[in-house]
Amino acid sequence: MKILIKSATVVQPESKYHQQKVDILLDNGKIEKIDKSIAAKADQTIEKENLHLSLGWFDSSVCFGEPGYEERETLDNGLKTAAKSGFTSIALNPTGNPIADQSTSIKFLKSHSGEYGVEVHPVGALTVKSESVDLAELFDMKNSGTVSFSDYKKPIKNPNLLKIALQYAQNFDGLVQSFPQENAIARNGCAHEDYQSTQLGLKGIPALAEELQITRDLFILEYTGGKLHIPTISTEKSVQLIKEAKKKGLDVSCSVAIHQLVFTDEKLQNFDANYKVLPPLRTSKDAKGLIKGLKDGVIDMVTTDHCPIDIEEKKVEFENAAYGTIGLETAFGALQKIFSTEKAIELLTKGRERFGLNTSVLEEGAQADFTLFNPEEKYTFTKNDILSTSKNSMFLETELKGKVYGIIANLKFTEA
């Protein structure tokens, strides 16, 4: 099948076509020709207003429901949502039932790769049933296709367990994740501990809970060596701790959830449970520190931290509501409220290398792995824009900038 893309502005600094407007002819998923103008017969021609094209986007932290919680999100609809939101690759967290803590679970998730053009990269559970007691079958899962190991939002309570995991994973270049929260400090808090939580009468999770855990983990990493990823940091001081660790030469990376850059704990005034996330929304000072961390390159990547939650677990008292927000659909439009288009694309693709994904450059003969978008279109995000089964988005009624047209990857064109 031949596809002809007309008048697309390339956003890929590594490519010689960066910021040029070109036509691209694809033949069975491979780039046959790139030129200023191509007149050729094609099975499909793609022409869009203000069409831009970049390397396919990657999200390092995505949750669906299946297996076990299909009412939240199925793999089929989740991958369709990812594709229509511009993502050609996702790292899928072990949040199903059963937990993906062995090779058979990883193979099941990998079997869905390529649906709607989206490549599924499973994250295997670090410990058996994510109970933070015994290490899971890390080597077997690595051989089956897992890209990292994590218990998602469950902190590693036993420091010796993290030590052993980092040491063991070095034998096969495994990437270990550690969620940055000390539960003995966080306890049963549900909001950032500060003025807002006090005023609203909500139990707080102090920034100390995150920063203490990060300090512990970095000390362990310095002792063991290995590769550590700290997902979804949320405080200004966390950025500084990781910056100092990188200066020491430690092999550490980190991410931040996009909603932490856009919203603060002031949004809790109406007790809307869509704003209940973990780590909690912090202060404007923290948000500014996180944005600076991205600009300085200390924070390696952004994530949607996409987490579908069905309405029964959100339409309850704030303290009893489940944590999580969906974010795939709003990722690009939200980032462009803060960064330039080029920076936004960099942040949406930068995590690929850390998670061991292939990064192709736009050139003739290469396999197509594109995201197509219009960076200028402004709109207000409403329920009609939600593609996920669950509707728990904190971006509702937020003005966004930038619309996705679709993706071309894995021999498929999925249109938004």
Residue 118 confidence (pLDDT): 98
Position 220 in a domain: yes
Sequential DSSP letters for 236-301: HHHHHHHHHHHHTT--EEEEEEHHHHH--GGGGGG--GGG--SSPP--HHHHHHHHHHHHHTSS-E
Q: 156 - beta bridge partners?
A: none
Give the pLDDT confidence of 217-262 residue by residue, as tens digits: 999 999 999 999 999 999 999 999 999 999 999 999 999 999 999 9
**Is residue 265 annotated as a catalytic residue, yes or no?**
no
The tokens describing 10, both together, are 């390339």
Residue 358 confidence (pLDDT): 86
- Average confidence (pLDDT) over 260-280: 97
CATH number of the structural domain spanning residue 7: 2.30.40.10
Residue 359 confidence (pLDDT): 83
Position 385 in a domain: no
Are 17 and 162 part of one and the same domain? Answer: no
Calpha distance 130→102 (Å, rounded)? 11
Are 35 and 99 part of one and the same domain? Answer: no
Tell me the percentage of the chain whose pLDDT exceeds 90: 98
Whether the pLDDT of residue 405 is over 90: the answer is yes
Are 8 and 69 part of one and the same domain? Answer: no
Distances (CA, A) of 292 to 60, 206, 212, 240, 331: 20, 21, 21, 11, 18
Residue 400's pLDDT band (cuts 50, 70, 90): very high
Are 20 and 64 part of one and the same domain? Answer: no
Please, is 367 exposed, middle or buried when counting C-beta atoms within 10 Å of its C-beta (0-12, 13-18, 19+)?
Answer: middle
Whether the pLDDT of residue 323 is over 90: the answer is yes
Averaged confidence pLDDT in the chain:
97
Calpha distance 412→272 (Å, rounded)? 39
Q: Is 198 helix (H, G, I), strand (E, B) or coil?
A: helix
Asked if omega into 206 is within 30° of 0 (cis), the reply is no
- Average confidence (pLDDT) over 24-38: 96
Are 44 and 93 part of one and the same domain? Answer: no
How many independent structural domains does the chain possess?
A: 2
Of 59, 286, 300, 305, which one is the catalytic site residue?
Answer: 305
Are 80 and 168 part of one and the same domain? Answer: yes
CATH number of the structural domain spanning residue 239: 3.20.20.140
Whether the pLDDT of residue 156 is over 90: the answer is yes
Instruction: Find, among 294, 239, 308, 228, the residue nearest to 261 by Cα.
Output: 294
Calpha distance 394→308 (Å, rounded)? 12
Are 84 and 185 part of one and the same domain? Answer: yes
Taking the alpha carbons of 141, 389, 178, 97 in that order, is the dihedral positive or negative? negative
125 contacts 150 by C-beta, under 8 angstroms = yes
The tokens describing 101, both together, are 């803590």
Residue 239 confidence (pLDDT): 98
Are 108 and 72 part of one and the same domain? Answer: yes
Position 383 in a domain: no
Indicate the pTM of the whole model. Answer: 0.96
Residue 361 confidence (pLDDT): 84
Please, is 201 exposed, middle or buried when counting C-beta atoms within 10 Å of its C-beta (0-12, 13-18, 19+)?
Answer: exposed
Residue 360 confidence (pLDDT): 80
Residue 329's pLDDT band (cuts 50, 70, 90): very high
The tokens describing 366, both together, are 């290469």
Position 16 in a domain: yes
Instruction: Find, among 329, 416, 406, 414, the residue nearest to 8 by Cα.
Output: 406
Whether the pLDDT of residue 324 is over 90: the answer is yes
Are 288 and 409 part of one and the same domain? Answer: no
- Average confidence (pLDDT) over 104-132: 97
Give the pLDDT confidence of 276-305 residue by residue, as tens digits: 999 999 999 999 999 999 999 999 999 999
Q: Which helix (H) or strand (E) holds 55?
A: strand 52-55
Count of C-beta atoms within a 10 Å radius of residue 24: 25
- Average confidence (pLDDT) over 385-398: 98
* Domain extent for 309: 56-354
Calpha distance 326→76 (Å, rounded)? 16
Residue 319 confidence (pLDDT): 96
Position 166 in a domain: yes
Are 20 and 61 part of one and the same domain? Answer: no
Q: 21 - beta bridge partners?
A: 9
Are 92 and 35 part of one and the same domain? Answer: no
Count of C-beta atoms within a 10 Å radius of residue 111: 12
Position 345 in a domain: yes
Using the structure block, give the residue that is written with the tokens 């015994």. Answer: 134
Calpha distance 233→61 (Å, rounded)? 13
Position 390 in a domain: no
Report DSSP state, residue 40.
-
Q: Give Cβ neighbours of residue 5 (< 8 Å, ≥ 6 apart).
A: 23, 24, 25, 26, 46, 51, 53, 372, 408
Calpha distance 360→354 (Å, rounded)? 15
387 contacts 308 by C-beta, under 8 angstroms = no
Give the pLDDT confidence of 342-378 residue by residue, as tens digits: 999 999 999 999 999 988 889 999 999 999 999 999 9
Are 162 and 240 part of one and the same domain? Answer: yes
Residue 90 confidence (pLDDT): 98
Position 210 in a domain: yes
